[in-house]
């Protein structure tokens, strides 16, 4: 298998050649991908907020943001600036410590999850063995923060919203984990790199969505529920709960929730793209094409094209899913809390279990197609 561009290796090697010891060369490399990923995550908020507002406007025959920047692209920046300068209010008789800690605990795991999101063969912060499992573990920290925020606000709407958020996150985590488990079983690895690697090389046919259509749907539904997107946005259903656990928040603390929810949406879309839509893999197998044309896989220009194409493919797939999520928002009505829990426990959970069982059976029966 072709290893693609090894940025880290080249960077460290270049520094070692300059006379810097190997250890410090590696230490110099370490912050670079992290900062890059943080910047990418932050920029993605602006992109998603803009997309959300423009697509929502288009679906409702409106124009949407127009005046802040070209085509309203800087609207999110303007909103963010406003939030930064707003007074930071901590409501009376609330618990100031938990109130402050809540949004932080919601945001940090989301940003931390970008640790395992690969944009290419070597374009990932760390390729850890438990990759996808780490993400599942991190995503279950968020409900604690939501509950904290809701409980400490000293407000009935906040408390109800927080409780709903916790109930929702916990019940949809299980079908999600089971859907991921089926994929993991097929790839024989928890590492996101390996999962994509196992899908790539055959174009669209190799992607997990072909072999795991049910798993894809379950994962996507559960991901929407985890992100608290419509139709599952009842923790912050404004008609019932004002704004759920966000009711008492203003300024940058509210901004953190806002950032968290949008980054979480991007993260979920990226993970769906990685787990089911072949990550950075191009729909047509390029490597086979290159071999066929007589161009070596290790040709530098081909490698650069493949790497940039890979990043673009990952982002394209993720933003396509974001688009579907936004379209879904204006299509489906919100479910009730009992319908939500019914759907999670009585439908998604058994279906995902059957899906897992079927995958296991198929893996034994058809090992060539299901990664035996």
Taking the complex as a whole, the smallest distance from the CB of residue 356 to another protein amounts, in Å, to: 18
Choice between 214 and 295, CB closer to another protein: 214
Contact window for another protein (CB under 8 A) among 156-164, 267-275, 326-334, 357-365: 326-334
Taking the complex as a whole, the smallest distance from the CB of residue 55 to another protein amounts, in Å, to: 7
Taking the complex as a whole, the smallest distance from the CB of residue 346 to another protein amounts, in Å, to: 10
Distance, in Å, from the CA atom of 372 to the CA atom of 358, rounded to the nearest integer, reads: 14
For the window 132-151, what string marks contact with another protein as x by the rule CB under 8 A? --------------------
Distance, in Å, from the CA atom of 240 to the CA atom of 319, rounded to the nearest integer, reads: 30
Contact window for another protein (CB under 8 A) among 51-59, 74-82, 198-206, 237-245: 51-59
Question: At 136, which helix (H) or strand (E)?
Answer: helix 131-139
Burial of 12 (0-12, 13-18, 19+ CB in 10 A): buried
Distance, in Å, from the CA atom of 98 to the CA atom of 105, rounded to the nearest integer, reads: 10
Residue ranges of E strands in 29-166: none
**Of the residues 58, 101, 128, 174, which one makes contact with another protein according to CB under 8 A:** 58
Choice between 59 and 289, CB closer to another protein: 59
CB distance 355 to 182 below 8 Å: yes
Choice between 39 and 332, CB closer to another protein: 332
- By CB under 8 A, is residue 57 in contact with another protein? yes
Choice between 75 and 122, CB closer to another protein: 75
- By CB under 8 A, is residue 332 in contact with another protein? yes
**Of the residues 62, 82, 156, 336, which one makes contact with another protein according to CB under 8 A:** 62
- By CB under 8 A, is residue 20 in contact with another protein? no
Question: At 208, which helix (H) or strand (E)?
Answer: helix 208-211
CB distance 190 to 132 below 8 Å: yes
Choice between 120 and 231, CB closer to another protein: 231
> How would you label 330-355 residue by residue, b for 16+ Cβ within 10 Å and e otherwise?
eeeebbebeebbebbeeebbebbeeb
Number of residues this chain uses to bind another protein (CB under 8 A): 15
Distance, in Å, from the CA atom of 275 to the CA atom of 180, rounded to the nearest integer, reads: 8
Q: Which two tokens stand for residue 122?
A: 């070597």
- By CB under 8 A, is residue 17 in contact with another protein? no
- By CB under 8 A, is residue 320 in contact with another protein? no
Q: Which residues bind another protein (CB under 8 A)?
A: 55, 57-63, 324, 327-328, 330-332, 347
């Amino acid at each position: 298998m072709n290893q693609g561009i090894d940025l880290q290796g080249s960077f460290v090697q270049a520094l070692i050649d300059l006379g810097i010891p190997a250890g410090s060369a590696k230490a110099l490399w370490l912050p670079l991908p992290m900062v890059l990923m943080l910047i990418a995550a932050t920029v993605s908020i602006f992109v998603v907020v803009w997309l959300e507002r423009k697509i929502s406007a288009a679906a409702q025959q409106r124009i949407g943001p127009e005046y802040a920047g070209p085509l309203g692209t800087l609207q999110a920046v303007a909103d963010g600036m406003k939030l930064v300068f707003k007074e930071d209010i901590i409501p009376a008789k609330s618990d100031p410590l938990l109130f402050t800690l809540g949004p932080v605990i919601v945001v940090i795991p989301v940003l931390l999850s970008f640790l395992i999101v690969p944009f290419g063969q070597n374009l990932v912060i760390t390729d850890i063995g438990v990759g996808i499992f780490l993400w599942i573990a991190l995503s279950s920290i968020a409900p604690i923060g939501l509950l904290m925020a809701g409980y400490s606000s000293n407000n009935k709407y906040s408390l109800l919203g927080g409780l709903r958020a916790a109930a929702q996150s916990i019940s949809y985590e299980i079908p999600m984990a089971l859907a991921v488990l089926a994929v993991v079983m097929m790839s024989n690895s928890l590492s996101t790199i390996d999962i994509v690697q196992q899908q790539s090389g055959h174009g669209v046919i190799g992607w997990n969505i072909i072999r795991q259509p049910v798993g894809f749907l379950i994962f996507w539904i559960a991901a929407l529920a985890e992100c608290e997107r419509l139709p599952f946005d009842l923790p912050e259903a404004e008609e019932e709960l004002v704004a759920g656990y966000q009711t008492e928040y203003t300024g940058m603390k509210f901004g953190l929730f806002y950032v968290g929810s949008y980054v979480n949406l991007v993260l979920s879309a990226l993970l769906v793209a990685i787990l089911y839509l072949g990550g950075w893999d191009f729909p047509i197998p390029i490597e086979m094409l290159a071999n066929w044309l007589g161009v070596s896989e290790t040709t530098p220009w081909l490698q650069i094209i493949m790497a940039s194409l890979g990043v673009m493919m990952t982002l394209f797939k993720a933003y396509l899913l974001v688009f579907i999520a936004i379209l879904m928002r204006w299509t489906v009505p919100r479910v009730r809390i009992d319908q939500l829990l019914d759907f999670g426990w009585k439908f998604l959970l058994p279906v995902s279990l059957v899906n897992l069982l079927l995958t296991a059976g198929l893996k034994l029966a058809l090992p060539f197609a299901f990664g035996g």
